Amino acid sequence: MQLKLDLEKGDVKIKIEALKKTIQMIASGERLPGLLMTIIRFVLPLQDHMIKKLLLIFWEIVPKTTQDGKLMQEMILVCDSYRKDLQHPNEFLRGSTLRFLCKLKEPELLEPLMPAIRVCLEHRHSYVRRNAILAIFTIYRNFEFLIPDAPELIANFLEGEQDMSCKRNAFLMLLHADQERALSYLASCLDQVTSFGDILQLVIVELIYKVCHANPSERSRFIRCIYNLLNSTSPAVRYEAAGTLVTLSSAPTAIKAAASCYIELIVKESDNNVKLIVLDRLIALKEHPTHERVLQDLVMDILRVLASPDLEVRKKTLNLAMELVSSRNIEEMVLVLKKEVAKTHNVVEHEDTGKYRQLLVRTLIALKEHPTHERVLQDLVMDILRVLASPDLEVRKKTLNLAMELVSSRNIEEMVLVLKKEVAKKAVGAELANSENNIEVLTAVEWKQAAGIVEVLGPLADATKKISGDSYPTSSFPDVAATVIPVLIDFLSDTNELAATDVLVFVREAIQKFETLRPLIIERLLDAFPMIKSVTVHRAALWILGEYASSPEDIQSVMNQVRQTLGEIPLVDDELRRATGDKGEEDVAQLQQAPVQKLVTSDGTYATQSAFNTTSLSKKGEARPPLRQYLMDGDFFIGGALGTTLAKLALRYGALVADPKKHNRFCAEAMFVMASILHLGKSGLPAKAMTNDDADRLYLCLRVLSDKSPVIINIFNENCRKALSVMLSAKAEEEATTQKVAMLQMYPWLYECAKEKPGSLIHADDPISFLQLSSTRGGELGGSENVFELSLNQAVVGGRRDGMGGSGLGTGELSITSKLNKVTQLTGFSDPVYAEAYVHVNQYDIVLDVLVVNQTGN
């Protein structure tokens, strides 16, 4: 075969390619027994380094035993080649061969090589020595009879070794093979641990954890070493040392030192994933009831993390600070948050800046919710109002909401003066800025003044909404809503559709709640109707007018506004007159002066074409009224809403007016408008044709006005309004529930009185959960769980990935079912190798825990 010929007679490059192909075929399941001697005779003697590398892979995967499990005779020849490579002057070949020997599972091949492996411990190059240690460690673990004095040999080697990587490998072997020797070595050099390299320090931390976990009496012996490692130059060592320290001691000084170390790591590390992981450790540390008081004294240090530019890090930091803040440091925290808000004004505005500013204001609002903090915050109202300097409308809105809730008789006068200055900055009329200066108690007049000032500062509908009946009962302040609502309705003409929609939602609720204000709202809504610029707002305004216009005069005013905003009807005839140029003399003159363009026909003669067309006329001509423009743009949904409104008004008008002629004239006018909209929708003139749903709605309204069935009249006049009342009640309940759940998720400390501390969650009659005989319940630090032994179970049950010593920092009972649902099966149960994985995602950092089980006999 060609492959055999290439291995026998080819040059070095051909043999390299043939050897690569051979490795691929064997890895794919081919046995190729005839090539073994060919490779031994023609490839093994070569000294090319690439071939040496490929041969190490080849000897690792090639079958070395016969069918009955005995070692092949040919492998004796290969063993001699291993021995020569272990004595090769090139340190790379020696080291790579030693690494290869770690993977051999045949003691017959390893036994002749033991003297050469021992000699490698004395090689001048550290690469060879550290790989020799790993080879000895692996051989001792798998075949102890081949080198029974390995611990003593490595201990002697460790005493005289200077290279940190070699010392690390040697100490790691003693850690797993002979802990007594490892402890003896550590005890002899405890004072020098801080001068060791970070790779050796990490192994020392692991040893101390294991020893102290198995024998708690050793804690006092090594705790000073862990304290010293908190000052290591390596962030990884400091992180592991802090995690180990909290398992060794629950003393406040130890917890404070570990927490301070975590905070320093978060502040100094640039990787956001590292910041998030260490923040999780701090959050887990807080869950222990005896440690929470220690962390409360570190709130100001935790707030240093806000210097990070990452929004997720800042959010977690603020949440943690909110859970730890107390009356001792609430004032300092507010001052820090105020400075952070000020910093956001001096940076280049981008998406995260606005979100961070909003997050800070939400935190200030949440601080108020704490029963012990509200009185403290009341004295800081004037400082909070300084946030009004922010250009962000949402931030100003939330700031004024907070200030209105915190203001008291002690500072209402100062607050009104500040708001007056803001009004002056916005060039608002002086009548809104006038306020009384001698304010001693909170009265309806004072709230009215504050509300009027707040409303001119921006989109502050929510604050006014609270003043008009939620936070401050309207029955106590009957004149407040009458002042606020006209100001709100002025926002309907705002170009910002979201702001106008919010105002209309509020107006809809107000007109439902306060019957005495309905005439005022209808009057102001009719005045603002022609100036509305959004189809959504127009549609909602039509519904309100159709539902609550209750007098004949108001109903006729609504019809007049509809005719004015719809334009001349029939709509199709009017549009066709526009399109065909049936205009005045000025339009005809413009048409005659329209430019012409010369065209060449197919026979070579010239032709002329006018630049006039119906599209350009319709675009350049007079602007259409708003409702007609919506219809010409193809939005016939508002046509259906208009039909429903006219049907309600016509039915109500008939009940209020005794004169049949007037009633019939009004109904005819309403039906004429609906018919015109239907004709326009089917004419093809609009940009989009009318949908069947919109047409059906208009046909229904026409049928209602023609039949006037008592059942239909009752549905239109009574049931629609009842449906609104039911919807508003359900919405209020849903918002209350949603707000409670959201606040509980964002600030769990608000409901601490309703939940037990972790220490009291375990009762005598609680059932015992057995899952792989490992506990998933958060308990005391330094409990019976060994985090190193549980690392395999974590891949299966989704255990806490808190790092070293994290087993005792649980947040309560974990949901076993939800964790198991995250396990992904990679192979079948009957496959030779079973594998499953648990994926843990932390922002951009993805950790994959894979459990691999060899189900074969090999």
Q: Which of 483, 489, 480, 495 is nearest to 526 (CA)?
A: 489
Q: Which of 805, 809, 806, 782 is nearest to 244 (CA)?
A: 805
Q: Does residue 796 have a pLDDT over 50? A: no
Give yes or no: residues 726 and 826 share one domain: no
> C-alpha dihedral over 561, 562, 568, 570, to 10 degrees?
-160
Q: pLDDT at position 805, please?
A: 39
In 624-771, beta strands by DSSP E:
none
Task: Tell me which of 627 and 798 has the higher pLDDT.
Answer: 627
Tokens found for residue 642: 């208009």
Q: pLDDT at position 786, please?
A: 60
The region of weakest confidence among 28-42, 154-168, 435-449, 645-659 is 435-449
Q: Does residue 565 have a pLDDT over 70? A: yes
Task: Tell me which of 418 and 652 has the higher pLDDT.
Answer: 652
Per-residue pLDDT band at 134 (split at 50, 70, 90): very high
Give yes or no: residues 745 and 767 share one domain: no
**φ, ψ (nearest 5 deg) of residue 599:** -125, 150
Per-residue exposure over 237-271, b if at least 16 CB sit within 10 Å of its own CB, e if not: bbbbbbbbbbbbbbeeebbebbbebbbbbbbebee
The region of weakest confidence among 177-181, 246-250, 463-467, 529-533 is 463-467
Among 61-65, 277-281, 507-511, the range with the most confident prediction by mean pLDDT is 277-281
Q: Which residue intervals of 345-392 are DSSP H helices?
A: 351-369, 374-378, 381-385
Per-residue pLDDT band at 133 (split at 50, 70, 90): very high
Give yes or no: residues 227 and 250 share one domain: yes
Is residue 701 included in any domain, yes or no?
A: no
Give yes or no: residues 741 and 801 share one domain: no
Q: pLDDT at position 495, please?
A: 61
Is residue 301 included in any domain, yes or no?
A: yes
Say if residues 710 and 651 touch (Cβ distance below 8 Å): no
Give the angle subtended at the CA of 223 by the CAs of 779 and 292, to the nearest 5°: 40
Q: What is the mean pLDDT of the chain?
A: 75
**Token pair 């759940």: residue:** 741
Give the angle subtended at the CA of 518 by the CAs of 645 and 668, to the nearest 5°: 25
Strand pairing of 606-610 and 823-825?
unpaired
pLDDT tens digits, 187-202: 888 888 888 888 888 8
Q: Which of 89, 88, 36, 83 is nearest to 62 (CA)?
A: 36
Q: pLDDT at position 311, please?
A: 85
- Separation in Å, CA 590 to CA 579, 594, 597, 613, 624: 14, 6, 16, 13, 19
Give yes or no: residues 737 and 791 share one domain: no
Lateral strand order in the sheet of 845-854 = 823-825, 833-842, 845-854
Question: For residue 833, what are the domain limits?
Answer: 761-854
Kind plus residue range of the DSSP H or E element containing 468: none
Per-residue pLDDT band at 370 (split at 50, 70, 90): low
Per-residue pLDDT band at 483 (split at 50, 70, 90): low
Q: Which of 255, 290, 346, 367 is nearest to 750 (CA)?
A: 367
pLDDT tens digits, 454-474: 443 333 334 333 333 333 333
Give yes or no: residues 802 and 849 share one domain: yes
Tokens found for residue 620: 């350049």
Give yes or no: residues 727 and 782 share one domain: no
Query: CA-based diameter of the chain, in Å?
Result: 122
CA distance 358 to 847: 32
With 0-12 CB in 10 A as exposed, 13-18 as middle and 19+ as buried, what is 677?
buried
Average pLDDT over residues 703-732: 79
Q: pLDDT at position 484, please?
A: 55
**Token pair 């006209």: residue:** 486
Q: Distance between alpha carbon 49 and the CA centroid of its chain, in Å?
A: 50
The region of weakest confidence among 181-185, 306-310, 420-424, 714-718 is 420-424
First to last CA, the chain: 31
The region of weakest confidence among 90-99, 447-456, 606-615 is 447-456
Give yes or no: residues 827 and 779 share one domain: yes
Kind plus residue range of the DSSP H or E element containing 814: none
Average pLDDT over residues 814-827: 68
Q: How many domains does the chain have?
A: 3
Give yes or no: residues 320 and 223 share one domain: yes
Average pLDDT over residues 296-325: 86
Give yes or no: residues 730 and 795 share one domain: no
Q: Does residue 83 have a pLDDT over 60? A: yes
pLDDT tens digits, 403-444: 777 776 666 767 767 776 665 554 333 333 333 333 333 344
Is residue 251 included in any domain, yes or no?
A: yes
Is residue 658 included in any domain, yes or no?
A: no
Q: Does residue 244 have a pLDDT over 90? A: no
Is residue 743 included in any domain, yes or no?
A: yes
Q: pLDDT at position 573, please?
A: 86
CA distance 539 to 638: 6
User: Which of 705, 736, 754 is the endpoint of a domain?
Assistant: 754
HSE-up (13 A, CA, CB side) for residue 665: 8
Q: pLDDT at position 717, please?
A: 74
Helix (H, G, I), strand (E, B) or coil at 850: strand
In 344-475, beta strands by DSSP E:
none
Q: Which residues contact 24 (CB under 8 A, 6 or more apart)?
A: none
Is residue 245 included in any domain, yes or no?
A: yes
**DSSP codes of every residue in 503-528:** HHHHHHHHHHH-GGGHHHHHHHHHHH
Is residue 84 included in any domain, yes or no?
A: no
Give yes or no: residues 799 and 847 share one domain: yes
Q: pLDDT at position 618, please?
A: 43
Is residue 850 included in any domain, yes or no?
A: yes
Q: pLDDT at position 137, please?
A: 92
User: Which of 704, 733, 754 is the endpoint of a domain?
Assistant: 754
Give yes or no: residues 242 and 274 share one domain: yes
User: Which of 306, 324, 342 is the endpoint of a domain?
Assistant: 324
